[in-house]
């Protein structure tokens, strides 16, 4: 017989939850089944660890059967396994299905008592909110109930967006100002500064200017950040509206200037002539002097 | 010179003709800022007796000169290097300007003179006699040029190309002589062949066609070969070398643009418009662009925004801009268009003499104006005309008349037309910048007057005719006598006009061109109800400075109820009253629309007008057909009607100006209406903002409602839902952009009853800054932000009195604190995210200065000095310099003044040097000799030195310095100088200060050897040329070395100066002789080349003192190289006496000169200071 100790609930843990009890009970049933098989096989006693291992194996076996049966049924586009699924899966696992009826009818078989009732009876209710969904029919009654709706139903919520124009502008202005101020303060603190007031060096620090070569580059080319911002918008230039220049002149211009200055490139229709400009011509190499 | 340049065309002042010139620059060293090259001039003698050739050359060190492969002797003398040689105590401008004019004359190519005189080797005598061509080959070296060529070598790592090092030529007027020997005259044309060998990574851009580019044998350098077959004056030759990016114009492949590395995108955008300008000019002139190609080069540290040379223009790189920049776009286009106009008139068609310059400037300005009218509309054009007309009249009335075509009486000069000025108008190099600017403007205005007279059609025909003649002439490659057709003179221009139009415009020319001054009218009127007549009284002021009398027709436009009527009045000698009949009865027809001049009919609210009079407004000379200033009086309601309903921009501006005097609710309403009127020209609306602010200030006690323009601005630019927040920027409507930019500036000028800016306005502007949001805008808001800062600065009012020390953060006024916070933030942000042309930084600096001036923050120049240094972007530097100039003036800080003057002498960028002086002239720290702690003898000496020798490399700068001297001390002797010693006489009546310089004897040897080659008698007293000479011509190299050591570091003196310094210990004045000349034309500068150092010494001494061995012997003044000219003042008894005394004096010195200090001389010889003694002394030495 299986030692009683293996059934014993571990002492000192009287406070075990109902769920733990529930799982323990299932486990115990499996263990009982394993013990019964051992007894059938002629064992009289077993070490707990061995029993435990066997139970584990049993569990794995059952799980595997269930898993592959399910896989097989889903493979054939069903949701519920049929006996043939099970048979197939068992034979795939190397089990002699033919022998199964005989085994079921064996004489020395030990009848197991029904698993203890009141499994998983009362999960703590917690704070029941809302209406729990009823189980669908196909779910056996001993399966757990649906949890509270709030734990799985997602209700996207958001605050009413700020649509008030004034507030938005204010915020964006304030934010930009804060960023700028923080940035300039940082730079001012980490580099040389000029102070407008002799007495107080912290008030109104001005980042001191450094002379640099080719100042026209920074002055004329837009800074990178500004450029990025600008590239988002279409960069169509609107400058032409400044004067009342007619855009229609475009084509004419090419022709008229070509005809006015005939000695340079001659425009042949249909053929894009290469630009003939002395600055684009290749640089000639000097004649190599022959050396004796 | 001054040969009669009549209608016969051009006569060369030279005894030879230049036909071709080769300019070859073999090597340009950026590190050492030097270049080596040679020129070869092909000349044909006119005279068989030709034995010397005068060329222009400054700064260059000449290795050798060969004429047809024979070594030639040459002498070099440049009196402009140091204008007044002797240490004169005179120090007044009348004296200087005479001496300077004479010095310029002595080297002016237009008069056939030059710094370099080459003697034709005797071997070629026969050759010359047969009038066969000569080839003059000159090898030269230019080292660290101070003018003429600008080397820009950024202080960076890497090769010169990586550093964007470049070099380009520049100059004020004819200044090519600064970088290569030539005949630096606009009237000496020749064909050109140019070769420039530069680093392989560089491009050399020059005039004419690039025929070939070739590697040198080591493949490390390239040679650019240019030919310019169009006959061109040397003054129109230019060069730019640098690692330029090349852009071939997509619309015209023969046009090429060049810019510095990294700027190509900007260049592309900037030049997109150029082909339209080309088209326009070619169309109106019905003449194609005269050169086969055109090049634009954008360079850093440019001398001016734009300068035009033959087939090439050099622009400042600051003109480049991207597509997001609004304000710069029209400016850049105008500059390029103007430069292109000068290609036709100025480069291709050149002038005969300086006095004809106005024709070229006028024509190029005129066709540029036509382009502007077509491109920007006639409103812009009229605004521009009005602006320049006002500026020209203001200048003339305030300073002096501008004479376009001065004629200088030859022979006995009595009254030079501009004798009262502190400068000479005789040469372009002696003109102040401001004068020349307005001279050009006036030339253009006069051209417009001519257009009015003969019609535009005819005028364009004249241009076409001139161009086609020149075109024909230029194609005559081998008939150089034809080339004079390419030169334009006043007479030639007038002749063409009379041929084409058949009209005689001589009176017009006489009035405006040959005579200076403008017309000044005062007008009042009375309406005579009984006779229904307008009685107009027009008075002329023709007595005060800068005015002239006008007699002739004058248009008056009267807007009546029944319409607008033009009346042509005849202005006559004596009558000032004019009666003009009115067309309408005074009784108003009810509800009838009133027809305007342009045919438009408008409804008007006529309740404001005088019920007896049908007059709405009156305009005198509405078409601006005279150069005039008109002060016309009419009641305020008439001005208001004029502002609202007159469609002419000029009339609207006049009305705005007049309404300043009438701060009434009605004026306010009229101005506000104009502001809101979208059809109205935007510049008028901008003017209205300024005027409205003034009106509001004048009405401060009765003003009701929010500050002026606030509600208007809110309505136009702020959100509907929240009126205190401005809309996110959208500048696609430029009119409203400019308005948006300018209204805050004007608003901030408002003051409440306590003289403070209303708090509401400050908050408003701060809100504008706070809510400024440019993210959705396709244009940059940098100018707008700069304007907002300017507005902030405008709100500042003087702080409660506090001394400089007690200005602390705690004591800062809360308003000022807010302003300062914004400025600080902007200024700091600019360091991290700089905006286009750093407009915001510049504006911040100006604002800081305003805060300082109003006593809110400590008054210190340190910040500005930091921003004014070299290596900061030019616009920022100029803003900082302006603040410094202001500081100097307000605080009379001599330290800052010294700092600025140091900059003037040493800054690498000549434009900055020029601007500093200009700013000092505009806001002089000392006003005309007023008492000031700044006014010290040392300052006078310093400035005098600057004028005299410190600015010899740049005539623009020298004229600026003269102007500054004039602004500080006036025309006479600076008050701070100690009283001149006894005997010094300033002859103010004759406008020539014939002070006796404390002249010293020269070394005895030199005197005894000396034979003056000039006849002393032929000179008299217009100008004075001071000629230094070297005492011992045979001085050895060792002396030269010593000399160098002796001379002070800032020494800019030339040959003579150096020579003179040689015996500093003994006598500063030694070796100098003063020559007075009566008649400039007769100056014989042959006498001047004695100043040459001996051959080898010259080389080592000073680049510009260059001589060669044969010189000493081979001169035409054979006896001595130390020849001097002298002058006798004939028929002057006084002088005679002095002469005798002087003689004694001189002999005395012969013996003891070595130990005689000047002081001693003065003590012992007080009579020395008579006007003539100096001159007479020389003639004496001759007679010896």
pLDDT at A123 over 80: no
* Tokens encoding B269: 């955008």
CA geometry: angle at A60 spanning A54 and A61, to 5°?
A: 90
Whole-angstrom Cα distance, residue B509 to residue B453? Answer: 11
Q: Tell me the mean pLDDT in the region B528-551.
A: 88
pLDDT at B9 over 50: yes
SS3 of B979-1001: the string is: CCCCCCCCCCCCCCCCCCCCCCC
CA dihedral B742, B743, B749, B753 (to 10 degrees): 170
- Contact call for B164 and A283, based on CB within 8 A: no
**Cβ count within 10 A of residue A180:** 16
Distances (CA, A) of B364 to B285, B370, B372, B812: 11, 10, 12, 54
Contact B75, B1089 (CB under 8 A): yes
CB within 8 A of B438, min separation 6: which ones?
B391, B392, B395, B396, B402
> Tens digits of per-residue pLDDT, B645-693?
999 999 999 999 999 999 999 999 999 999 999 999 999 999 999 999 9
A286 touches chain B (CB under 8 A): yes
> Tens digits of per-residue pLDDT, B11-29?
778 899 999 999 999 999 9
At B1184 the pLDDT is: 33
Contact B1173, B996 (CB under 8 A): yes
pLDDT at B1132 over 80: no
Q: Identify the weakest region by mean pLDDT among A98-112, B186-200, B402-416.
A: B402-416
Q: For B205, which residue in chain A has the nearest alpha carbon?
A: A279
DSSP state string for B501-520? H----HHHHHHHTSS--BEE
* Tokens encoding B106: 């002595």
Q: Which of A35, A29, A28, A65 is nearest to A50 (CA)?
A: A35
pLDDT > 70 fraction of chain B, expressed in percent and rounded: 79
- Residue B410: pLDDT band (50, 70, 90) is low
Look at B203 and B1078; give whichever has higher pLDDT: B203
Whole-angstrom Cα distance, residue B619 to residue B646? Answer: 10
CB within 8 A of B129, min separation 6: which ones?
B48
DSSP state at residue A109: P
CA geometry: angle at B93 spanning B91 and B96, to 5°?
A: 80
- Contact call for B833 and A230, based on CB within 8 A: no
Whole-angstrom Cα distance, residue B766 to residue B779? Answer: 22
Look at B72 and B1056; give whichever has higher pLDDT: B72
At A257 the pLDDT is: 38
Determine the distance in angstroms separating the CA of B611 from the nearest CA of chain A, rounded to an integer: 43
Range list of H helices, B327-416: 328-344, 357-376, 378-398
A243 touches chain B (CB under 8 A): yes
In Å, how far from its chain's centre is CA A267? 60
A195 touches chain B (CB under 8 A): no
Q: Identify the weakest region by mean pLDDT among A165-179, B451-465, B1133-1147.
A: B1133-1147
> Tens digits of per-residue pLDDT, B460-486?
999 999 999 999 988 887 777 788 889
Which residues of chain A have a CB within 8 Å of the CB of B875? Answer: 219
Whole-angstrom Cα distance, residue A199 to residue B805? Answer: 9
Tell me the pLDDT of chain B averaged across its residues: 81
Which residues of chain A have a CB within 8 Å of the CB of B734? Answer: 241-242
Which residues of chain B have a CB within 8 Å of the CB of A218? Answer: 834, 838, 873
A126's torsion region: left (phi>0), alpha (psi -120 to 50) or beta?
A: left
Whole-angstrom Cα distance, residue B1134 to residue B170? Answer: 49
A166 closest CB neighbour out of B722, B828, B829: B722
User: What H or E segment, with its residue span, contains residue B602?
Assistant: strand B601-602
Buried b (16+ CB within 10 A) or exposed e, B893-921: bbebbebbbebbbebebbbbbbbbbbbbb
At B586 the pLDDT is: 56
- Residue B985: pLDDT band (50, 70, 90) is very low
DSSP state string for B905-937? HH-S-HHHHHHHHHHHHHS-SS-TT---TT--H
Length of chain B: 1184
DSSP state at residue B726: B
In Å, how far from its chain's centre is CA B402? 14
pLDDT at B1054 over 50: no
Contact B198, B213 (CB under 8 A): no
Whole-angstrom Cα distance, residue A134 to residue A138? Answer: 11
**Cβ count within 10 A of residue B342:** 24
> Tens digits of per-residue pLDDT, B714-760?
999 998 888 889 999 999 999 999 999 999 999 999 998 888 999 99
Which residue out of A219, A245, A248 would a mutagenesis test of the B interface target, given it has the greatest number of B Cβ atoms within 10 Å?
Answer: A219
- Contact call for B734 and A226, based on CB within 8 A: no
A16 touches chain B (CB under 8 A): no
A251 touches chain B (CB under 8 A): no
For B15, list phi and psi in degrees, rounded to 5. Answer: -85, 20
For B918, list phi and psi in degrees, rounded to 5. Answer: -60, -45
Whole-angstrom Cα distance, residue A31 to residue B370? Answer: 109
Q: Which of B284, B351, B270, B354 is nearest to B313 (CA)?
A: B270
Q: Tell me the mean pLDDT in the region B176-184.
A: 93
Rounded to the nearest 5 percent, the helix, strand and coil shares of chain B are: 40, 20, 40
* Tokens encoding B503: 């009209």
In the stretch 129-168 of chain A, residues with CB closer than 8 A to chain B read 165-166
A91 touches chain B (CB under 8 A): no
State the count of interchain CB pairs (< 8 A) between A and B.
239
Q: Tell me the mean pLDDT in the region B1117-1141.
A: 40
> Tens digits of per-residue pLDDT, B225-276?
999 999 999 999 999 999 999 999 999 999 999 999 999 999 999 999 999 9
DSSP-derived 3-state class of residue B634: coil
Q: Identify the weakest region by mean pLDDT among B260-264, B309-313, B821-825, B1043-1047.
A: B1043-1047
Q: Tell me the mean pLDDT in the region B1023-1049.
A: 38
* Tokens encoding B31: 């590190």
- Residue A115: pLDDT band (50, 70, 90) is low
Of the ranges B389-398, B990-999, B1131-1140, the best mean pLDDT one? B389-398
A63 touches chain B (CB under 8 A): no
- Residue B607: pLDDT band (50, 70, 90) is confident
DSSP state at residue B51: -
Whole-angstrom Cα distance, residue B650 to residue B597? Answer: 14
At B401 the pLDDT is: 83
- Residue B1033: pLDDT band (50, 70, 90) is very low
pLDDT at B545 over 50: yes
Whole-angstrom Cα distance, residue A118 to residue A101? Answer: 32
Contact B994, B1171 (CB under 8 A): yes
Whole-angstrom Cα distance, residue B272 to residue B326? Answer: 15
Look at B258 and B937; give whichever has higher pLDDT: B258
Range list of H helices, chain A: 18-41, 48-75, 83-92, 99-104, 149-152, 165-190, 215-220, 224-232, 249-260
Q: Tell me the mean pLDDT in the region A164-192.
A: 89
pLDDT at A271 over 80: no
At A142 the pLDDT is: 78
DSSP-derived 3-state class of residue B458: helix
Q: Tell me the mean pLDDT in the region B1092-1096.
A: 37
- Contact call for A285 and B725, based on CB within 8 A: no
Q: Strand B166-169 relative to strand A205-207: parallel, antiparallel, unpaired? A: unpaired
Query: Which residues partner with B195 through β-bridges?
Result: B24, B225
Determine the distance in angstroms separating the CA of A148 from the nearest CA of chain B, rounded to an integer: 47
Where do we find the tokens 């050396």?
A: A291
**Cβ count within 10 A of residue B587:** 10
At A290 the pLDDT is: 57
Whole-angstrom Cα distance, residue B881 to residue B922? Answer: 13
At A107 the pLDDT is: 81
Tell me the pLDDT of chain A averaged across its residues: 73
Where do we find the tokens 């570091």?
A: B1049
- Residue A201: pLDDT band (50, 70, 90) is low
Q: Tell me the mean pLDDT in the region B875-880.
A: 95
Contact B616, B641 (CB under 8 A): yes
DSSP state string for B967-980? HHH-SS--TTSPPP
pLDDT at B417 over 60: no
Whole-angstrom Cα distance, residue A168 to residue B25? Answer: 65
Q: What is the complex's ipTM, to 2 decimals?
A: 0.75
User: What H or E segment, with its residue span, contains residue B550?
Assistant: none
- Contact call for B828 and A188, based on CB within 8 A: yes
Whole-angstrom Cα distance, residue B1001 to residue B1177? Answer: 10
Range list of H helices, A96-248: 99-104, 149-152, 165-190, 215-220, 224-232
Q: Identify the weakest region by mean pLDDT among A151-155, B513-517, B989-993.
A: B989-993
Contact B357, B810 (CB under 8 A): no
pLDDT at B1173 over 60: no
Of the ranges A156-160, B76-80, B1033-1037, the best mean pLDDT one? B76-80
**Cβ count within 10 A of residue A176:** 14
Q: Tell me the mean pLDDT in the region B98-119.
A: 89
Look at B386 and B1071; give whichever has higher pLDDT: B386
Upper half-sphere CA count for residue B561 (Cβ side, 13 Å): 19
Whole-angstrom Cα distance, residue B632 to residue B639? Answer: 10
Q: Tell me the mean pLDDT in the region B696-725.
A: 88
């Amino acid at each position: 017989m299986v030692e009683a100790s293996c059934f014993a609930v571990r002492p000192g843990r009287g406070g075990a939850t109902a769920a733990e009890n529930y799982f323990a009970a299932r486990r115990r049933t499996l263990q009982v089944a394993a013990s019964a098989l051992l007894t059938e096989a002629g064992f009289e006693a077993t070490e707990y660890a061995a029993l435990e291992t066997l139970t584990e194996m049993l569990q794995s076996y059952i799980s595997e059967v269930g898993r592959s049966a399910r896989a097989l049924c889903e493979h054939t586009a069903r949701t519920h396994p049929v006996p043939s699924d099970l048979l197939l899966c068992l034979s795939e696992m190397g089990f002699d299905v033919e022998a199964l009826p005989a085994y079921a009818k064996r004489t020395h078989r030990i009848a197991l008592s029904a698993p203890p009732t009141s499994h998983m009876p009362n999960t703590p209710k917690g704070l029941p909110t809302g209406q729990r969904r009823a189980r669908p029919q196909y779910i056996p009654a001993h399966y757990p109930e649906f949890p509270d709706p709030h734990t799985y139903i997602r209700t996207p919520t958001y605050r009413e967006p700020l649509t008030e124009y004034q507030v938005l502008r204010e915020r964006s202005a304030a934010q930009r100002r804060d960023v700028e101020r923080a940035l300039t303060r940082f730079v001012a603190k980490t580099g040389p500064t000029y102070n407008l007031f002799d007495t107080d060096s912290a008030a109104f620090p001005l980042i001191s200017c450094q002379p640099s070569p080719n100042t026209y580059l920074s002055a004329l080319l837009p800074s990178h950040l500004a450029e990025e911002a600008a590239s988002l918008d279409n960069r169509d230039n609107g400058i032409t509206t400044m004067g009342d220049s007619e855009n229609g002149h475009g084509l004419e211009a090419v022709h008229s200037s070509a005809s006015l200055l005939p000695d340079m490139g001659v425009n042949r229709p249909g053929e894009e002539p290469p630009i003939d400009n002395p600055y684009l011509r290749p640089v000639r190499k000097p004649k190599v002097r022959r050396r004796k | 010179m001054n040969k009669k340049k009549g209608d016969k065309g051009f006569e060369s002042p030279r005894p030879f003709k230049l036909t071709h010139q080769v300019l070859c620059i073999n090597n340009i060293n950026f590190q050492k800022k030097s270049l080596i090259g040679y020129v070869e001039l092909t000349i044909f003698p006119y005279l068989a007796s030709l034995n010397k050739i005068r060329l222009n050359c400054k700064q260059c060190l000449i290795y050798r000169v060969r004429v047809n492969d024979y070594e030639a002797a040459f002498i070099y003398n440049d009196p402009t290097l140091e204008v007044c040689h002797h240490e004169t105590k005179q120090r007044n401008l009348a004296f200087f300007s005479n001496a300077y004019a004479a010095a310029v004359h002595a080297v002016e190519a237009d008069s056939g003179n030059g710094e370099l005189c080459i003697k034709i080797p005797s071997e070629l005598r026969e050759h010359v006699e047969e009038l066969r061509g000569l080839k003059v080959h000159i090898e030269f070296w230019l080292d660290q040029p101070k003018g003429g060529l600008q080397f820009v070598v950024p202080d960076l790592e890497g090769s010169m190309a990586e550093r964007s090092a470049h070099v380009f030529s520049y100059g004020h007027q004819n200044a090519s002589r600064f970088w290569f020997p030539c005949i630096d005259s606009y009237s000496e044309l020749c064909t050109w062949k140019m070769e420039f060998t530069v680093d392989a990574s560089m491009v050399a851009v020059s005039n004419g066609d690039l025929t070939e580019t070739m590697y040198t044998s080591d493949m490390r350098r390239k040679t650019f070969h240019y030919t310019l077959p169009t006959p061109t004056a040397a003054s129109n030759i230019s060069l730019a070398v640098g690692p330029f990016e090349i852009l071939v114009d997509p619309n015209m492949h023969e046009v090429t643009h060049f810019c510095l590395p990294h700027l190509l995108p900007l260049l592309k955008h900037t030049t997109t418009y150029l082909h339209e300008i080309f088209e326009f000019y070619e169309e109106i002139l019905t003449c194609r662009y005269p050169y086969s190609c055109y090049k634009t080069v954008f360079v850093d540290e440019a001398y001016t925004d734009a300068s035009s040379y033959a087939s090439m223009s050099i622009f400042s790189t600051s003109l480049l801009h991207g597509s997001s920049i609004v304000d710069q776009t029209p400016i850049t286009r105008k500059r390029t268009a103007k430069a292109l106009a000068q290609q036709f008139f100025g480069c291709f068609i050149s002038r005969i003499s300086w006095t004809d310059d106005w024709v070229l400037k006028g024509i190029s300005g005129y066709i540029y104006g036509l382009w502007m009218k077509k491109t920007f509309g006639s409103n812009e054009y009229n605004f521009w005309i009005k602006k320049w007309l006002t500026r020209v009249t203001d200048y003339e009335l305030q300073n002096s008349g501008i004479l376009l075509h001065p004629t200088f009486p030859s022979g006995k000069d009595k009254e030079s037309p501009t004798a009262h000025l502190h400068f000479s108008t005789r040469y372009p190099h002696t003109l102040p910048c401001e004068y020349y600017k307005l001279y050009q403007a006036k030339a253009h205005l006069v051209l417009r007057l001519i257009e009015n007279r003969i019609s535009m059609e005819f005028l364009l025909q004249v241009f076409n005719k001139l161009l086609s003649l020149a075109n024909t002439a230029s194609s005559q490659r081998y008939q150089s006598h034809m080339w004079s057709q390419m030169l334009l003179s006043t007479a030639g221009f007038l002749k063409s006009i009379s041929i084409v139009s058949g009209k005689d415009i001589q009176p017009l020319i006489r009035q405006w061109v040959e005579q200076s001054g403008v017309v000044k009218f005062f007008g009042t009127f009375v309406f005579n109800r009984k006779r229904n007549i307008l009685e107009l009284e027009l008075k002329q002021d023709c007595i005060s400075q800068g005015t002239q009398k006008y007699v002739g027709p004058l248009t008056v436009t009267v807007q009546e109820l029944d319409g607008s009527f033009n009346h042509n009045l005849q202005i006559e000698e004596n009558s000032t009253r004019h009666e003009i009949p009115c067309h309408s009865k005074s009784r108003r027809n009810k509800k009838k629309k009133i027809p305007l001049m342009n045919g438009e009919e408008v409804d008007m609210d006529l309740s404001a007008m005088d019920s007896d009079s049908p007059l709405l407004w009156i305009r005198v000379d509405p078409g601006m057909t005279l150069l005039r200033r008109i002060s016309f009086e009419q009641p305020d309601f008439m001005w208001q009607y004029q502002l609202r309903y007159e469609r002419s921009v000029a009339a609207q501006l006049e009305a705005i100006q007049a309404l300043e005097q009438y701060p009434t609710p009605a004026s306010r309403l009229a101005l506000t209406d104009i502001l809101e009127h979208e059809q109205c020209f935007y510049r008028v609306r901008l003017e209205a903002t300024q005027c409205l602010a003034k009106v509001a200030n004048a009405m401060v006690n009765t003003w009701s409602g929010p500050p002026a323009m606030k509600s208007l601005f809110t309505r136009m630019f702020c959100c509907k839902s929240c009126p205190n927040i401005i809309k996110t920027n959208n500048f696609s409507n430029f009119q409203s952009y400019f308005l948006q930019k300018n209204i805050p500036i004007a608003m901030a000028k408002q003051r409440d009853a306590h003289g403070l800016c209303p708090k509401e306005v400050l908050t408003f502007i701060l809100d504008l800054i706070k809510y400024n949001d440019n993210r959705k805008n396709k244009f940059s808001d940098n100018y707008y932000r700069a304007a907002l800062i300017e507005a902030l600065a405008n709100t500042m009012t003087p702080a409660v009195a506090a001394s400089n020390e007690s200005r602390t953060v705690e004591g800062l006024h809360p308003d000022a604190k807010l302003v300062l916070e914004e400025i600080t933030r902007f200024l700091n942000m600019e360091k991290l995210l700089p905006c286009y042309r750093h407009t915001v930084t510049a504006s911040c600096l100006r604002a800081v200065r305003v805060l300082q001036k109003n006593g809110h923050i400590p008054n210190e120049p340190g910040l500005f000095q930091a921003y004014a240094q070299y290596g900061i972007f030019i616009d920022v530097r100029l803003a900082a310099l302006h603040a410094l100039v202001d500081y100097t003036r307000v605080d009379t800080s001599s330290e800052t003044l010294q700092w600025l003057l140091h900059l003037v002498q040493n800054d690498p960028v000549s434009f900055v040097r020029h601007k500093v002086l200009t700013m000092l002239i505009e806001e002089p720290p000392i006003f005309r000799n007023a008492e000031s702690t700044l006014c010290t003898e040392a300052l006078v000496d310093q400035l005098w030195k600057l004028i005299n020798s410190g600015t010899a490399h740049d005539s623009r700068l020298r004229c600026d310095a003269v102007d500054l001297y004039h602004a500080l001390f006036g025309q006479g002797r600076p008050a701070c100088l100690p009283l001149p010693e006894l005997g010094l006489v300033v002859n103010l009546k004759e406008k020539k200060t014939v002070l006796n310089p404390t002249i010293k004897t020269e070394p005895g040897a030199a005197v005894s050897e000396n034979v003056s080659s000039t006849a002393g008698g032929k000179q008299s007293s217009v100008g004075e040329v001071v000629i230094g000479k070297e005492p011992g011509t045979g001085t050895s190299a060792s002396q030269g070395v010593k000399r160098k050591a002796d001379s002070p570091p800032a020494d800019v003196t030339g040959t003579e100066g150096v020579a003179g310094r040689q015996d500093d210990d003994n006598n500063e004045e030694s070796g100098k002789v003063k020559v007075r000349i009566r008649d400039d034309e007769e100056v014989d500068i042959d006498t001047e080349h004695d100043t040459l150092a001996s051959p080898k010494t010259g080389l080592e001494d000073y680049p510009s003192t260059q001589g060669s061995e044969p010189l000493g012997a081979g001169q035409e003044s054979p006896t001595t190289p130390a020849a001097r000219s002298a002058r006798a003042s004939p028929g002057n008894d006084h002088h005679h006496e002095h002469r005798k005394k002087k003689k004694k004096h001189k002999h005395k010195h012969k013996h003891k000169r070595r130990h005689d200090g000047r002081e001693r001389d003065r003590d012992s010889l007080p009579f020395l200071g008579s006007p003539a003694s100096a001159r007479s002394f020389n003639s004496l030495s001759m007679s010896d």
